[in-house]
C-alpha cells in the first residue's frame, strides 16, 4: 500500500457537517463507496481513494488526513490501531550493552513501539480485524531480529524493565510507602546506592500520593533500574528533573549497560540529555497521529543533527521541509527600560524549608527565566508572586496574573470552550488564530476534550490559555515538559511574541537549557540546600545567569558547530577542564 487515510474519530462530527467529506468526494460522485458513514463517523476506503485531498481540505474539524507513504518504504505495518487509524511500520533495533536513544515528534509512535517491545501491546501486523497468532508474528519476521526477540518474549525467556512516560499516574497504581515497593524489586541489590545518588532517602517513607513530579520521576527510574532484566526501556526520563538530576539519571542508565549484559532504549526530547546518555540514535519520522517509521541506527552526533536537518542521509529521505535552527546564544533581544512591576523582598518559612528572594524589577517585554535545582523553592516563588501563597515579609500587589502550573488540570471540557473562557472576544481575532492556535499547532484538537489529550497536547493547550485574556504578568512552571523539540522552539517564540506585543512581563521556570537559552532575556538563579533552604539574589543578564547556574552545578556545555545546539561536556574531559578554567560554562 502506498497511501493511507486517517480519520480521527474523536474529531469527526458528521451530524454537524452533514457528511461533507462524502458529498465532495469525486469517487462517491461516481456512485462508488469511497467514504461511507459508520456509526456517524467517516470511513475511507484506502483502495478506492485516489489521494485528491478534497475531503482533507473541506473537513471543518481537521479530522481527515490522506498521505502517500515514502517510496522507499518496503515493510508492511507492524501495528495498526484500527481502520483509518495510526500505523507503525517498524521498531527500534535493541542491542545488548548499548543505549539506543530515540527521537521524534509527539504522536509519531515512539511510546507505541516501547509498549510493543515491553510486551504491553501485542502487534497485529496491520490486521486489526483478525489479529495474528503468535506464530504468525514470528513467521513474518523470521529473517529479522524481531523473530528471536518475540520468540523469547512469548516463551518468557526474556525479562524486561519499563519506565512509563506518564509518571503522574503512579500514585493511582501504587499505594503505600516508596521504600516498601522498592525493597520488593531490588534484584540488582543497588537500591541503597541509587537512593543516595538520586537523593530520595529523605522521601523513602512517604506515600506515592505525596510525591512531587520530580520525586515521582526519580523513584520510577530507580524502580526500573534496580530490576534484573535483559532489556530496559525508559520513556522520557528527564521530565520534571533539573539539569543536575538529568546528568545523574543519565549516569544511572549508562551504568546498566556498563555493568549488566543488557540493552537500553531511551525516548527523550531534551537533546542535551539524549546526547549525553546514548550510544546510538534512531529517528522516528512520518506524520504525527498518522504513521511512524524508525530509521537505521546512527552515531549520536550524526543522528541528532540529521533529525534537526530534516534529512536522513543514508536512507535518502527528507521527512521535514525545513531545518530546525537554534538562534545565536550571544544575540541579545531588546526589551523596554520601562519598569512594569517591582517585586519586593519575599520570604516564606515552612516546617522544614525556607525561601528568601531579593527585590527585583520586571520590565515591559521582558522574559525572566528561573533556573536551579529541584527543591529550592522555584514553584513556591511562583505561588508567592501569584498570590496563591502569602509572603512572610512583604505583600505582592500585582493584578491580572496568568499562571500555568506544573501539574495540569484536564477537565471533561472541550478545548475550544476552555480557551474561549480564557481568551474572551480575542479568541475570534485573526491574531489569536495565527499566533497562538496555529503556532502552537492546536487548531486540530479544538473539538477534543482536555481529558483525552496527550501530555504534549495538554501542555500546549494550557500554554495557550496562559497567553489569553487581559493579563499583565505571565507565570509558567515547566512549559517544555512533554513537548517535542520542534514544539519547544515554537513555544519559546510564541511566549516572546506575546510578551512583546502586549508589553507585559513573563516569569518562566524550566530545566531545558536549550529552551531557556532560546527564551530568556534575564535570569534568576536559585541556590541553597534542596529541601531545606532556597536563596535568590539579583537578576542577571542571560550570559551571566547561564554561567553562574552551570558553575554552581559544575556542568559545562559546548556548541555543536553544525547545528548550533548545546552539548554537555563529559565530566573532567579536556574541554570541560578548559572551559571551567576560563569560566566559560555555557557561552564560548
Domain with residue 31: its CATH number is 3.30.70.20
Q: Are residues 491 and 463 in the same domain?
A: yes
Domain annotation covers residue 559: no
Domain boundary among 540, 555, 583: 540
- Compute the average pLDDT of residues 455-467: 93
Contact between 10 and 452 (Cβ < 8 Å): yes
C-alpha cell at 338: 520601562
The pLDDT tens digits of the residues spanning 257-282 come to: 999 999 999 999 999 899 999 999 99
- What is the average pLDDT score of the chain? 90
Reference 267, options 86, 485, 120, 419; nearest CA is 485
Domain annotation covers residue 562: no
- Compute the average pLDDT of residues 122-135: 89
User: Cell match 521530565: residue?
Assistant: 239
Domain annotation covers residue 462: yes
Residues 6+ apart with CB under 8 A from 485: 103, 269, 271, 307, 308, 324
Residue 143 pLDDT exceeds 80:
no
pLDDT at res. 224: 96
pLDDT at res. 580: 92
Q: Are residues 490 and 535 in the same domain?
A: yes
- Compute the average pLDDT of residues 520-538: 89
Q: Are residues 256 and 368 in the same domain?
A: no
- Compute the average pLDDT of residues 548-571: 85
Q: What whole-number distance in Å separates Cα of residue 464 and Cα of residue 482?
A: 15
pLDDT at res. 401: 93
Q: 394-413 as b/e, with b when 16 or more CB fall inside 10 Å? A: eebebeebbbbbbebeeeee
C-alpha cell at 78: 507492524
Contact between 455 and 409 (Cβ < 8 Å): no
Q: pTM for the whole thing?
A: 0.85
Reference 221, options 77, 97, 213; nearest CA is 213
pLDDT at res. 329: 59
The pLDDT tens digits of the residues spanning 497-506 come to: 999 999 999 9
Q: Are residues 52 and 121 in the same domain?
A: no
Domain annotation covers residue 217: no
Residues 6+ apart with CB under 8 A from 218: 198, 199, 200, 241, 245, 249
Q: Are residues 301 and 356 in the same domain?
A: no
Residue 363 is part of a domain; what is its CATH number?
3.40.50.300
Provide the percentage of residues in the chain whose pLDDT is more than 90: 54
pLDDT at res. 26: 95
Contact between 48 and 32 (Cβ < 8 Å): yes
pLDDT at res. 467: 95
Q: Are residues 56 and 98 in the same domain?
A: no
Number of domains comprising the chain? 3
Going from the C-alpha of 370 to that of each of 290, 513, 545, 560, the distances in angstroms are 37, 11, 9, 25
Domain boundary among 497, 520, 540: 540
- pLDDT grade, residue 451 (50/70/90)? confident
Residue 1 pLDDT exceeds 60:
no
- Compute the average pLDDT of residues 153-167: 89
Instruction: List, as one string, the DSSP characters of 75-132.
Output: PPPSEE-STT--EE-------TT-EEEEEE-TTSSHHHHHHHHTTSS---TT-SSSPP
Q: Are residues 373 and 306 in the same domain?
A: no
pLDDT at res. 461: 96
Domain annotation covers residue 188: no
Q: Are residues 481 and 431 in the same domain?
A: yes
The pLDDT tens digits of the residues spanning 294-345 come to: 999 999 999 999 999 999 998 888 999 889 888 765 666 677 789 989 999 9
Domain annotation covers residue 74: no
Domain boundary among 280, 314, 348: 314
The number of beta carbons lying within 10 Å of the beta carbon of residue 456 is: 21
Q: What whole-number distance in Å separates Cα of residue 62 and Cα of residue 39?
A: 19
Q: Are residues 83 and 45 in the same domain?
A: no
Domain annotation covers residue 181: no
Q: Are residues 302 and 409 in the same domain?
A: no
The pLDDT tens digits of the residues spanning 238-252 come to: 988 988 899 899 999
Q: Are residues 391 and 536 in the same domain?
A: yes
pLDDT at res. 331: 63
Domain annotation covers residue 280: yes
Q: Are residues 155 and 240 in the same domain?
A: yes
Q: 21 is in which domain, residue-wise?
A: 3-68
- Compute the average pLDDT of residues 40-65: 93
Amino acid at each position: 500500500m502506498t497511501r493511507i487515510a486517517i480519520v480521527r474519530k474523536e474529531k469527526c462530527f458528521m451530524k454537524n457537517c452533514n457528511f461533507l467529506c462524502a458529498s465532495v468526494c469525486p469517487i462517491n460522485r461516481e456512485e462508488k463507496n469511497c467514504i461511507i458513514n459508520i456509526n456517524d463517523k467517516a470511513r475511507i476506503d484506502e483502495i478506492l481513494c485516489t489521494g485528491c485531498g478534497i475531503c482533507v481540505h473541506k473537513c471543518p474539524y481537521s479530522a481527515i488526513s490522506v498521505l502517500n507513504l515514502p517510496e522507499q518504504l518496503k515493510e508492511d505495518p507492524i501495528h495498526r490501531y484500527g481502520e483509518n487509524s495510526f500505523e507503525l511500520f517498524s521498531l527500534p533495533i535493541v542491542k545488548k550493552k548499548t543505549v539506543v536513544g530515540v527521537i521524534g515528534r509527539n504522536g509519531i509512535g515512539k511510546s507505541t513501539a516501547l509498549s510493543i517491545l515491553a510486551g504491553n501491546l501485542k502487534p497485529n501486523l496491520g490486521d486489526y480485524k483478525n489479529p495474528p497468532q503468535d506464530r504468525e508474528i514470528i513467521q513474518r519476521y523470521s529473517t529479522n531480529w524481531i523473530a528471536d526477540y518475540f520468540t523469547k518474549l512469548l516463551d518468557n525467556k526474556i525479562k524486561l524493565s519499563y519506565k512509563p512516560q506518564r509518571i503522574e499516574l503512579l500514585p493511582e497504581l501504587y499505594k503505600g510507602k516508596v521504600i516498601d515497593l522498592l525493597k520488593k524489586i531490588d534484584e540488582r541489590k543497588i537500591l541503597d546506592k541509587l537512593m543516595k545518588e538520586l537523593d530520595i532517602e529523605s522521601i523513602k517513607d512517604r506515600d506515592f500520593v505525596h510525591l512531587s513530579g520530580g520525586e515521582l520521576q526519580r523513584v520510577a527510574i530507580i524502580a526500573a533500574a534496580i530490576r534484573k532484566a535483559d532489556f530496559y526501556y525508559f520513556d522520557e526520563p528527564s521530565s520534571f528533573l533539573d539539569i543536575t538530576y538529568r546528568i545523574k539519571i543519565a549516569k544511572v542508565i549508562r551504568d546498566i549497560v556498563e555493568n549488566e549484559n543488557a540493552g537500553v532504549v531511551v525516548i527523550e526530547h531534551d537533546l542535551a540529555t539524549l546526547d549525553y546518555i546514548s550510544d546510538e540514535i534512531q529517528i522516528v519520522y512520518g506524520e504525527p497521529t498518522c504513521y511512524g517509521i524508525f530509521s537505521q541506527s546512527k552515531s549520536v552526533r550524526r543522528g541528532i543533527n540529521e533529525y534537526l536537518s530534516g534529512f536522513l542521509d543514508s536512507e535518502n529521505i527528507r521527512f521535514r521541509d525545513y531545518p530546525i535552527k537554534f538562534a545565536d546564544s550571544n544575540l541579545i533581544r531588546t526589551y523596554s527600560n520601562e519598569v512594569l512591576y517591582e517585586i519586593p523582598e519575599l520570604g516564606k518559612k515552612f516546617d522544614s524549608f525556607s525561601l528568601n528572594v531579593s527585590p527585583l524589577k520586571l520590565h515591559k517585554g521582558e522574559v525572566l527565566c528561573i533556573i536551579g535545582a529541584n527543591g529550592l523553592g522555584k514553584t513556591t516563588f511562583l505561588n508567592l508572586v501569584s498570590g496563591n501563597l502569602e509572603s512572610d515579609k512583604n505583600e505582592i500587589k500585582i493584578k491580572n496574573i496568568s499562571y500555568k502550573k506544573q501539574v495540569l488540570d484536564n477537565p471533561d471540557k472541550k478545548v475550544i470552550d476552555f480557551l474561549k473562557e480564557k481568551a474572551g472576544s480575542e479568541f475570534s481575532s485573526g491574531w489569536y488564530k495565527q499566533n497562538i492556535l496555529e503556532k502552537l499547532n492546536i487548531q486540530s484538537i479544538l473539538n477534543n476534550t482536555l481529558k483525552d489529550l496527550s501530555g504534549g497536547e495538554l501542555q500546549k493547550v494550557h500554554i495557550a490559555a496562559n497567553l489569553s485574556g487581559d493579563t499583565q504578568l505571565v507565570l509558567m512552571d515547566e512549559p517544555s515538559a512533554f513537548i517535542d523539540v520542534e514544539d519547544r522552539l515554537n513555544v519559546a517564540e510564541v511566549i516572546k511574541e506575546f510578551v512583546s506585543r502586549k508589553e507585559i512581563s513573563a516569569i518562566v521556570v524550566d530545566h531545558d537549557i536549550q529552551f531557556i537559552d532560546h527564551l530568556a532575556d534575564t535570569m534568576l538563579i536559585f541556590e541553597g540546600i534542596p529541601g531545606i533552604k532556597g536563596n535568590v539574589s539579583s537578576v542577571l543578564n542571560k550570559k551571566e545567569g547561564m554561567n553562574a547556574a552551570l558553575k554552581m552545578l559544575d556542568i559545562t556545555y559546548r556548541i555543536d558547530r553544525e547545528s548550533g545546539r548545546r552539548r554537555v561536556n563529559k565530566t573532567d574531559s579536556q574541554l570541560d577542564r578548559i572551559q571551567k578554567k576560563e569560566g566559560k560554562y555555557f557561552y564560548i
